[in-house]
Structure 1
């Protein structure tokens, strides 16, 4: 049986620690995963912060008004806080980055017991948590950039993974604890003592009627911390008498001590203490909340409210202008100032207003500086103060200006670029595209002219059209004299809850589209190569009342307040090829993740997906889930046409939100994701995510088992696997870089790979001697003529002292023990009349010693310890313990500040003769039973042997 299980586990792949998400197979719908715990802890923390910090000019919240929302989701929280439709998409992005950091522990540290609190590596786990958390605070203590925020979120995810494992994999819950373990998040709090190696912590579990282990009450220690053993390369054995991790994926669950103690799920096959799963998860949620807002030690108190808002993207979006200031742009800038500022002022006091306004000028060779303000008048003055001049050759430093704008703006911002020239620094286009992908910001290029950059060949699209396509917008070419006629596009960007309903290119004169009751208003954008007119008709057949936003010969935008849901139509005056884009304002939206299997789990991919590969697509629906139904997942090509439609079964996660998980094969080079379904009123709806997905023929992989942490002053070598996923031999240019220049070398810089061939890219990082808790995201890229992909790895620097764990327990010496408790003195009638005493002293080389009794002290017992005394650097504490002979036994626990414990055990209890006789009888019965089984087995073997001899003598042969 054990052999079959062992083979099964190896075929399936080892699964370690708490389940990261519901996409991973085997986890129940009501189980709480790492993703659930992280998100719920964050929501409670942010809801508490919002309750205490209402928006200026609004009434204060009642205690619990936001925290106790049911369900508490990003959408319900934002709707209750702003009392209006405000999309939580930027907040969700911050949460997802934290969750990615959490998941990465399963990819890269799966085999390290200390990251999961397995194998009683509790002190190491606490040290890992505290140093990772310190990296977060250190990374946000100076100048805060988009990259430093991303590093901080990834580090936070790693720290939270360790924090949450404490509650599923140790016996904290079994100890009867109802609050989080505060020493974990606050080292000034005294640690709970950890069971020393010599103390047995568990007994064998029994087997219930269903064939599973019943591990109720299997933990022996009632006052010491312990955790389950799970074998790995760093923890090879389970010591006798120690608890197992347990469950289907623990190969030693049948070895003594059988069973285990994990509470990762509510499934008895996977978690021996399944009945405590929700209590452990509840403590993990509260501990996650305290990580962020714990008084005196949480992120909020240590970094302040402004940085707290920025960390969670609570500040809204930026409205950013990137303006060419060469001599030919003078008239353009004047039109931008007059028309755009009027539009901005119109929305300045609405919820649709941006959080701030940013201006980035550029010319050649200059670009910047960045001007940032929350005041519209100051922004107007900054545009007015721009001076134009020079220019020389035509191309300008547009990509450098955009790069500066993207790193200075909030995530998911609106960036408007004004120029009449191509980009001289077009070599930075790939870097800008990566920023667009990571920030999910949208770039709107306004071109009043164009010239091809020197040394480049104009393809079917110029650099601005490529940027617009990737960010889900369109490049607008217009004559300088007519620039003011298209600036109404800026008004459409002032939307606090933007959604995309449809974005397609069609040869038609009639376009049907769905409008649902969740849409407050919609905008319809149409562009062609010739002049046209358009009308919009409601589901009832009546013509809609439209407001014109932009109207030129070949580009028109109209806005409509929604009063009637159903199937609407855009009708043109003639058949022609048109680009249609229909957007709206609504809280009904969705986010998605493309995922693949790692170590038995399903986790988000790194970089771009590869063409033709199979993935798991996970879709989370935002908005009220009540009565809503998701019926299809849509895969659309780059022109917005449905390439494939997947019928789906939805599920509701533990937070009450709709989730859809499907297997997909991505065959298109460029595609978008959409969903279709019905609202609670039965109205059909569709939504499209504007992010354009690009599949590639090359992949970069960070193989597990490597370190990504280096000591200050030290070096780190890592290897990245480059895989040619294409069908033909290709040459790839390889590159590696990181923000803080920790990278010293990498090789090779190029490689030629056959189809399906792989190679290793090696990189060396060196940390300065004074780098102290810094983090840097290293980006590796591989490019061929037809493919490019990237991989981000978080490189963390820590002081050498953080790698040294104090795992030495205190020592003790018995100075005197008077134990007269024997024979009749232990009987109840006599024991109260007699007393025994113990005098001892204890010391520790690294910290103060804390002494306690390992159980509740009856009135007849007493422990008295004096203040630490002694010469030299190692003081010792002297203690005396006294008890009546009714209790001739005791466990004295001595621990240091880190929780390392030693146990002085005294047990002078005398077994009664009746018990001795009973034990003798049990032994005799056991021996008789064994003898009977042995004899019976020998008899069976003899009969089998005799039967086969008889068959052979009769010419009968059997092949087994």
Structure 2
């Protein structure tokens, strides 16, 4: 099954040669489409379950991600919810799914080629262990990336093996159940295929293989035509073994006239298998964390990085007041942040990072902050704390830094910029001036460094006295809300008189203009020609507040849609930013195309290459799904210059997805500017990315697998190339966990030629399973003229040998009060008791009710044997509860008292002799495989109550 970055599929089919796009089903059944279908179905099921359990209706108007999110979270008077994070989560999974065809094209286990069944299942098992551990530690991005790779391997089994040729229509559950054996595998010396000279044969599998139900898969040779005698080939132009006897191939990647039935069967089985895997992860994680992994939560994440040195008492008090205001004012509303993150820093210490979705817990944590300590030079570990926040917070977060000192760890500045560009998070600095503080003279660090980092991220660098600090924190309240979008952002250094037009559409609410700088005059004009100047604190267009170097203009609620203008007059440096709230937005990534047997696009881990066309993948998000938006122009616009920016070519792939090719990328730093039409209001809209990007003549290529075992060294090959002048390049690498690393400190490059090197990183054996690690590799020419970076993520997991599911023994079921006539069920109750044990002794961590409206109670989870009791109305006739052990194995306890006719109910109470006679003939009911924790018969006592 071909793996392309999801939204590139149709473009390749339309624009490339036939060999460049190998679909699974006429362009509609690829890895991406199968993964997308499974994810949307499982997310829809989960949203409906959670919403209905909370007493909310769940009626999406369509199947698009934004419509699902809107139906689940729903609009309120305080704002709208955005589907952008759900879109981003889907794209992260799609991208990693596709990269397996680039990074592991010749690995048989990753694709279940060459009969590597045990090894392939091992990859799935290892991946699922890492995913569950990541979710437990709330490292959701790492979980998503691993999920994309695992789904690719799982889906390939059905296309590359003979599973469906053997007549199987259901998924092979043993692939995700490592406690079950892989049965009836064809031996290495067993011939499996007949010859197919034409390369297109209805069925090459030998009759005895089919009759004996032997499992095999095609051998694939990208660099060699050798395969064991008599074995099937994968097939296709890229497979050199396909011309070795027996010729041909059994892959079902492409739907052809000769393989329609098996191809469609493979697609159906792969989709069902994907749903099985997602359901296992969902049950282990719980519904809420499963949805958080998928990016379905309120958009805002409030993240504070706070200096706790001795002079920061006032600043800490103000940060604490802002957090309390956010929590108290937005708790229970749609604008309540989905997560709170706190990172304190001092000198020489920083951290730990505290993250929670519980507002009361965040209140307690920030109340503990006390000012004290700090170095004598009064420069703090600010960037170390910020690095911790950038690697720990979700992508596209808003991060607020409070300090009154310059950064002592300024050497991290380049790493911080790389992380900002990779995560697309927005960083704002609140720097106060402490009276009487002695400051050392630092030529390497100043407030300008904070301004550089803020501008790179699309944030603000605010310099203000401690007394006026409360006047600036409205910025936090503005952005700690749902659906914040940027309409326009520009910077000028030096400043000059200039008019900036920008478009406001009908969907925008809470529109705010931010200007940072000194000695600034401006005039704001609406589409009707009405103006307001900078010295009108409350005018016809909005309210203006000034504190320190920040000017904040909040437009009146009755703003007019159309083209506005702001004329800024100053010769001093300044920044301008226009924001609002709207669910109309876009997400994007710079990508590069890769070749091989399955071509596709990979997200760039660094800056785009200079002198080459740039390619972007965009997803545009509308109020009623992609059909409610028409995209007009998309351009790369210089941040500092007034030029028109680069021209581009758009390829509309449908579903709001766009492939953008830019022939001439602007010099210097630029942003993405998109304009279009909102069909709901028939009005023009404008949106801009916040993160600045620039090109580089240096390219870094590096590949990291999804996870590494604690205590073992990970060897990471990387390559470096420059299109500029050759010579010596300085290499610097950092990771956010301080794991020991070794790598060459420099490489000598020749223009246009790659130089290869290896970095080794070793997580200590004590590293907790599920720890997410961010690794940044930077290369810079010895002259300092050019540089680039690669940001990589991987997870650490502990070796797990427990794959046994928790076991449920149903002890008794008392349903004697339940009449056959369901219409008379209301006054009656029924009961069930069961014993729960963990088969391998790691212990049960959680038990929760999955089906049923009754009451579930159980003895302490610390007990080796847990007694569970359930009682419910006879109107609620099915119960299912889930037990999850400490490593994520999932067990189910299921029982139904639904009756299909039969004799009338027995009397409620019987004499002892008759009771014993009836119980001697109690019906033994066999529970279907896969339903209960352990497939076994359970006694069901129907209508019996002994005196």
Same fold per TM (> 0.5)?
Answer: yes
8 A contact 1:711–1:800 mirrored in 2 = no
| Count of paired positions | 758
Q: 2:31 aligns with which of 20, 24, 34?
A: 34
Q: Which residue of 2 aligns with 1:878?
A: none
Shift of 1:199: 5.6
Verify: 1:299 aligned to 2:299, yes or no. Answer: no
Tell me how far 1:592 sits from its aligned partner.
1.7
Asked if 2 retains the 8 angstrom alpha-carbon contact of 1:20 and 1:34, the reply is no
In the alignment, structure 1 residue 229 sits paired with structure 2 residue 219: yes
2:780 equivalent among 780, 783, 796? 783
CA gap 1:355/1:453 in 2 versus in 1, 3 angstroms: farther
Instruction: Specify the alignment match of 1:498 in structure 2.
Output: 484
Return the alpha-carbon distance in structure 2 between the equivalents of residues 75 and 462 of structure 1.
39
Q: Give the aligned partner of residue 181 of structure 1.
A: 172
SS at match of 1:686: strand
Q: Would you say the 8 A contact 1:610–1:697 is kept in 2?
A: yes
Q: Pick from 433, 442, 455 the counterpart of residue 449 of structure 1.
A: 433
Change (3 A) 1:441 1:58: farther
SS at match of 2:144: helix
Q: Is the 8 A contact 1:167 1:284 kept in 2?
A: yes
User: Displacement, 1:491?
Assistant: 2.1
Q: Does 1:516 align with 2:515?
A: no
1:510–1:571 CA contact under 8 A, matched in 2? yes
Secondary structure of the 1:626 match is helix
Partner of 2:383: 399
Partner SS, residue 647 of structure 2: strand
Distance (whole Å) between structure 1 residues aligned to residue 3 and residue 550 of structure 2: 56
Deviation at 1:31, TM superposition (A): 2.6
| Corresponding residue for residue 606 of structure 1 | 605
1:324 has 2:320 as partner: no
Measured in 2, the distance between the counterparts of 1:409 and 1:338 equals 22
Q: How does 1:716-735 map to 2 (within 5 A)?
A: 717-727=715-725, 729-735=727-733
Counterpart in 2 of 1:281? 267
Q: Quote the Cα distance in structure 2 between the aligned partners of 1:588 and 1:672.
A: 18
Q: Could you tell me which residue of structure 2 aligns to residue 75 of structure 1?
A: 66
Aligned to 1:643, which of 623, 642, 645? 645
In the other structure, the counterpart of 2:581 is: 585
- 1:163 deviates by 0.3
Q: CA shift at 1:419, angstroms?
A: 2.0
Q: CA deviation at 1:555?
A: 1.5
What is the rounded CA distance, in whole Å, between the counterparts of 2:504 and 2:135 in structure 1? 44
> 2-side partners of 1:128 and 1:476: how far apart?
49
Deviation at 1:755, TM superposition (A): 3.8
**1:329-354 residue CA offsets vs partner (Å, 9 max, x unmatched):** 33444444556644654333321221
Contact kept? 1:17, 1:116, Cα under 8 Å: no
Q: 2 CA distance for matches of 1:257 and 1:181?
A: 27
C-alpha contact (below 8 Å) 2:649/2:661 kept by paired residues: no
Matches of 1:83 and 1:529, distance apart in 2: 42
Contact 1:17 1:264 in 2 (8 A): yes
2:504–2:685: 8 Å Cα contact kept in structure 1? Answer: yes
Contact 2:225 2:244 in 1 (8 A): no
In structure 2, what is the equivalent of residue 687 of structure 1? 687
Verify the 8 A CA contact 1:539 1:565 in the aligned structure 2.
no
Preserved contact between residue 222 and residue 238 of structure 2 (Cα < 8 Å)? no
Distance in structure 2 (CA, Å) of the matches to 1:121 and 1:365: 51
Distance in 1 between the 2:768 and 2:466 partners? Answer: 53
Q: Secondary structure at the match of 1:283?
A: helix
The Cα of 1:527 is off from its aligned counterpart by 4.0
Name the SS for the 2:184 alignment partner: coil
State the Cα distance separating 1:140 from its structure 2 match.
5.3
Matched residue, 2:464 = 478
Alignment CA distance shift 1:533-1:417 (3 Å): same
Aligned-partner Cα distance in 1 for 2:90–2:587: 12
Q: CA deviation at 1:559?
A: 3.3
Distance (Å, rounded) in 2 between the aligned partners of 1:545 and 1:101 = 51
CA distance in structure 1 between the partners assigned to 2:146 and 2:357 by the alignment: 30
Please list the CA deviations of residues 220-262 of structure 1 after superposition, one character each: whole Å capped at 9, or x if unmatched: 536443333332357723744x443333444454555454332
Q: Which residue of 1 is the match for residue 862 of structure 2?
A: none
Residues 897-908 of structure 1: pairs in structure 2 closer than 5 A: none
- How far apart are 1:124 and its partner, in Å? 3.1
Aligned residues of 1:313 and 1:411 also touching (Cα < 8 A)? no
Equivalent pair of 1:778/1:795 in contact (CA under 8 Å): no
Counterpart of 2:103 in structure 1 is 108
Using the TM superposition, give the Cα deviation of residue 539 of structure 1 relative to its aligned residue in structure 2, in angstroms.
Answer: 5.6
Report deviation, 1:489: 1.1
Q: Paired residue for 1:700?
A: 700
Q: Which residue of 2 aligns with 1:829?
A: none
Counterpart selection for 1:414 from 371, 389, 398: 398
**Are residues 456 and 541 of structure 1, via their aligned partners in 2, closer, same or farther at CA, if it must alter by over 3 Å?**
closer
Q: Where does residue 856 of structure 2 map in the other structure?
A: none
Does 1:215 find its partner at 2:202?
yes
Alignment of 1:112-191 (within 5 A): 112-138=107-133, 144=137, 146=139, 149-189=140-180, 191=182
The alpha-carbon deviation at position 162 of structure 1 amounts to: 0.6
**Structure 2 SS opposite 1:262:** coil
Cα distance in 1 for residues equivalent to 2:256 and 2:521: 63
Which residue number corresponds to residue 807 of structure 2?
Answer: none
Is the 8 Å Cα contact of residues 705 and 794 (structure 2) preserved in structure 1? no
2:484 and 2:579 in contact (8 A); partners too: yes
- Secondary structure of the 2:651 match is coil
Superposed, 1:24-63 pairs within 5 Å as 25-27=20-22, 30-54=27-51, 58-59=55-56, 61=58
Distance 2:398 2:488 in 1: 19
Question: What residue is the counterpart of 1:836 in the other structure?
Answer: none
Which residue of structure 2 lines up, in the alignment, with residue 468 of structure 1? 454
CA offsets 1:762-795 (integer angstroms, 9 cap, x no match)? 3345677898987866543323434241352648
Aligned pair in 2 of structure 1 residues 424, 213: CA closer, same or farther (>3 Å)? Answer: same
1:561 deviates by 3.7
Which deviates more from structure 2 when the two are superposed, residues 300-309 or residues 164-173?
Answer: 300-309
Match of 1:908 in 2: none
User: Residues 779 and 791 of structure 1 are in contact (CA less than 8 Å); yes or no, is this contact kept in structure 2?
Assistant: yes
Q: Could you tell me whether the CA contact under 8 Å between 1:710 and 1:796 is conserved in 2?
A: yes
Name the CA shift for 1:723/1:769 in 2 (closer, same or farther; >3 Å): same
**1:436 corresponds to which residue?**
420
Q: CA deviation at 1:537?
A: 1.0
SS at match of 1:649: strand
Moved more, 456-465 or 580-589: 456-465
Q: Deviations over 1:725-773 (max 9, x none)?
A: 4335344134365847364x33x22234354454332334567789898
**Which of 254, 277, 284 is the aligned partner of 1:265?**
254
Map of 1:558 onto structure 2: 554
SS across alignment from 1:603: strand
Cα RMSD of the aligned pairs, angstroms, is 4.1
* Distance change (3 Å), C-alpha of 1:215 and 1:545: farther
| Cα shift at 1:697 | 3.4
Deviations 1:863-909 (A, max 9, x none): xxxxxxxxxxxxxxxxxxxxxxxxxxxxxxxxxxxxxxxxxxxxxxx
The answer on whether the counterparts of 2:111 and 2:157 sit within 8 Å (CA) in structure 1 is yes
CA distance in 1, matches of 2:699, 2:760: 21
Cα distance in structure 2, aligned partners of 1:772 and 1:505: 44
Contact 1:648 1:660 in 2 (8 A): yes
Q: Report if aligned partners of 1:698, 1:788 keep a CA contact under 8 Å in 2.
A: yes
| Equivalent pair of 2:310/2:373 in contact (CA under 8 Å) | yes
